[in-house]
Amino acid sequence: MLMNLNKRPPISLFLAIKMTKIPLILLIFFSASQIFASDLVEVFGISRCPDTSKFVKNQLVPFYEKFSSNFSKDFKLDFHAVPTGGSNVDGHYVNRCLHGKTECDLNKLQMCAKKHVSGDWMKIIGCIQGLKSYNKALECLPEAEEGKIVKTCAESDEGEYLLNDENSYRFNVAPLSSWLPWIQVNGKREPYAEHHLKDVVCSLESMKNEEMCQKN
Ligand SMILES: *[C@@H]1O[C@H](CO)[C@@H](O)[C@H](O)[C@H]1NC(C)=O
């Protein structure tokens, strides 16, 4: 699904004041990843997009569920739910999303789960992905304390900030990401991964010698 590119940097509320700091942070990040030769596969998507849903449900989550315990410690797989922009409304930052408010609500729930659920956040993201209603999505959260923290996050400024930060991140790291799901390997687009995630992961330096990547 096609989505607008950000024409100018969104306001980053957590990294407030100076956007000029971001390139520096990224520079440090990228040079660190060079030194440790680690690999990062990251996915940008939106919760109500059929193409993102297909990828998340057929590739990303099953792959993660089956193999995350076999990942090399130098390999990381990440998911970013992104808005299209946002603005200040009555003193509060409010994100805008391609498919409207419900999509923003689901995106926030996904990013709050990533932040607050230590174990199985990818599974929760997969459960929320593609749903039509926020109440249905709440059923994806773990019971007890962790689930409550995620819900509170998604319904407060914390969730708006998190989603906005994902937008800033997208602008800086994936400025050409007009097609979603947009999959990057170490900062470069890899469209082949949309249908061949495991092949792409297993071609990486950090993963190719792992047992899960050996052909029998
Ligand atoms: C993946 O990890 C699990 C649990 O640690 C282990 O039992 C299994 O043999 C591993 N599989 C591969 C293909 O490495």
Q: Please compute the mean of the pLDDT values over residues 113-141 and round it to a whole number.
A: 96
Q: What is the pTM of this model?
A: 0.87
Q: What backbone phi and psi angles, to 5 degrees, belong to 77?
A: -120, 130
| Of the candidate ranges 20-34, 72-86, 163-177, the one whose mean pLDDT is the lowest | 20-34
Mutational test site, ligand 1, from 67, 70, 71, max ligand atoms within 8 Å of CB: 70
Q: What backbone phi and psi angles, to 5 degrees, belong to 94?
A: -130, 125
Ligand 1 nearest-atom number relative to CA 211:
14
- What pLDDT score was predicted for residue 16? 44
Look over the chain and give the mean of its residue pLDDT values, rounded to a whole number: 89
Interior/surface letters 24-40, b for 16+ CB within 10 angstroms, e for the rest: eeeeeeeeebeeeebbb
> Are the CB atoms for 9 and 168 separated by under 8 Å?
yes
> Domains plus CATH for the chain?
13-204 (3.40.30.10)
CB of 70 closer than 6 angstroms to any ligand 1 atom: yes
Confidence band for 8, pLDDT divided at 50, 70 and 90: low
pLDDT tens, residue by residue, 65-76: 999 999 999 999
Mutational test site, ligand 1, from 69, 72, 75, 209, max ligand atoms within 8 Å of CB: 69
CB of 212 closer than 6 angstroms to any ligand 1 atom: yes
pLDDT tens, residue by residue, 144-160: 899 999 999 999 999 99
Among candidate residues 92, 96, 102, 91, the one with its CA nearest the CA of residue 6: 96
